[in-house]
Amino acid sequence: MDNAPHAAPIDDRGRLSALLRLWPFARPYRGLVVVTFTAALFATLAQLAVPLLTVAVVDGPIADGDRRGLIPLLALALLFGVAEAALFFLRRWAMNRSSLRIERDLRDAMYQRLQRLPVAFHDRWGSGQLLSRATTDVSTVRRFVGFAAVFLAVNLITCVVVLVLLMLTYWPLGLAVLLTTVPLTFLGLRWERRYNIQSRAVQDQQGELTTDVEEAVQGIRVVKSLGRSGMVFDRYDAKARALRHMELKKIRTLALLWCIFELHPQVTLAVILVGGAIAVNTGALTVGGLIGFVALFTVLLWPILSLGFLFAFAQETASACDRIGELLDEPITVTDRPGVRPAAVASPARLRFEAAGFTYPGSASPVLHGIDLDVAPGETVALVGATGSGKTTLTALVGRLYDVTAGRVTLDGVDVRDLPLAQVRSVVATAFEDATLFSMSVRENLALGRPDAGDADVEEALRVAQAEFVHDLPWGLATRIGEQGLSLSGGQRQRLALARAVLGRPSVLILDDPLSALDVHTEALVEKALRNVLAQTTALVVAHRASTVLLADRVALLAGGRITAVGRHSDLLAEVPEYRDLLAQDSELRDAEFAEVAS
């Protein structure tokens, strides 16, 4: 599986320009963002008042021996301290409110996008990659917006302001400080590319690891029953070791950045002390001026030290934005056409495939081509074919889980693509062989397709699906059945999924072999009750079992991506050798053949 088929080329990923993707999410809260930035900036500038006051104190009251002159200056220093504390509180308040709201909106946008993206997209992407983007990457963005983005801008401004003040205080030393920043900037830009490539590799590997964890948890029964815990762990451990190796490479790069950013101010401070001592000795600079210059430079220490970390964090966030953007930019190919309006669809409806074809994205050959099939209102047609013949794909075209790539599918003469997607999904219900249930109550699972269903409707659906066992659960219909319904047996999950499809009272009912996990006795009871339901709807049934074939009015034989024969079961037995050969491969279908001949 290609976990990231639309990843950007390595030269274009992780650049800081990717951070611009966050602006649409930050725009609604720009007022809070401005408050955060302003409070952080003024709090930092308030710190600069202390070195300037220090110069005034040393060269003024202390040099003149004026003790009274100290009082207003000390009061002013205290005032700046209180202002800094208040601004700190304001920054944290505004920062948390804005970053958490941006995170919520971004997470909602990603979840909604994942829901709207076509099934073909989810066929290609690993779930672990999607989870890591929706959790880890979004959290990275929130931390950047709530902290790093603000201080990256504020610290850069602080560096500029302090450098200007240093130049005004004593320009030769100020120029020396400015010149030392040139190699620092050059090295930072040089390592930018290396770090963003390493960050992206780590994030992608985390997605791979998440996929392995999810698969192991979901398949824990299979893993334990086959005694393959060691093999599964070894595969996981290999990826974990690879992640560790990638993380260490990234940390090594970051450590080098930190080392350089730590070394720079110490070397610069030595230059300042030597040059400042010479300047004081020659009278070019006062003692207070030197103390103020050093104090101003110490204010510059944290911005310089933090820039390495903040730039690295910005690169990591840029990679996260790229990964999130890959999902948000993914085209939604199954959607409403412009100007579509609801149209009348009878219940039961007439279903037609007209020269319908389908090719999976990235595939060179079609799975289905030239499909022509007319299912009359209230008729049940069984789809029979060898494994991989395209039966499930064909049924998916009706509810627009996939859209045809050739021809069309119609309901009562209207192309399903000319109907609102919500309407199509409301009139077409599907019960899949692999029954999927959600971590909610039994009733909530049943009513997914029809939230307004009454108690009588629910009970009728349970009766048809022979799923009255739910009343024996600890809290009946209110029982939460756990993630994916794994607390239930396979047959119980299938019966609940069938009840859910029946409860929707659809105009078209798609049954993708939903009885495969049932025992013979329960299957017979379900089929008996299901006949009454099928008589009131148009049904397309994927048949792998004899009993399912016998539910249908007609049978369509699918081979080589085409429907090669359509007719009654008995007629196909007598006239189509390929159909007889297919039946001969299944003992149950052979029994059905004998029963048909005997009757």
Residue 276 has pLDDT above 50, yes or no: yes
Q: What is the mean pLDDT of the chain?
A: 83
Shared-domain flag, residues 322 and 387: no
Shared-domain flag, residues 229 and 271: yes
**% of the chain surpassing 70 pLDDT:** 87
Count of domains forming the chain: 2
Shared-domain flag, residues 377 and 517: yes
Residue 106: the pLDDT is: 94
The tokens for 229 are 């815990």
| Strands in 238-350 per DSSP E | none
Comparing CA positions, the residue from 500, 522, 511 lying closest to residue 446 is: 500
Over the stretch 540-574, which tens digit does the pLDDT of each residue have? Answer: 998 877 777 888 899 999 998 999 999 998 888 88
Instruction: Note whether residue 272 is domain-resident.
Output: yes
Shared-domain flag, residues 72 and 165: yes
Shared-domain flag, residues 390 and 292: no
Instruction: Note whether residue 198 is domain-resident.
Output: yes
**Ramachandran angles phi, psi of 370, nearest 5°:** 65, 40
Q: What's the CA gap between 366 and 162, in Å, rounded? A: 67
Shared-domain flag, residues 110 and 163: yes
pTM of the model: 0.75
Over the stretch 488-536, which tens digit does the pLDDT of each residue have? Answer: 887 888 888 888 888 878 899 998 877 766 666 777 777 777 888 888 8
Q: Give the domain extent around 471.
A: 351-360+368-598
The tokens for 216 are 């192991």
Q: What's the CA gap between 126 and 213, in Å, rounded? A: 12
Number of separate helices (H) and strands (E) present in the chain:
22, 10
Cα dist from 579 to 193, 295, 408, 531, whole Å: 62, 91, 26, 24
Instruction: Note whether residue 105 is domain-resident.
Output: yes
Instruction: Note whether residue 200 is domain-resident.
Output: yes
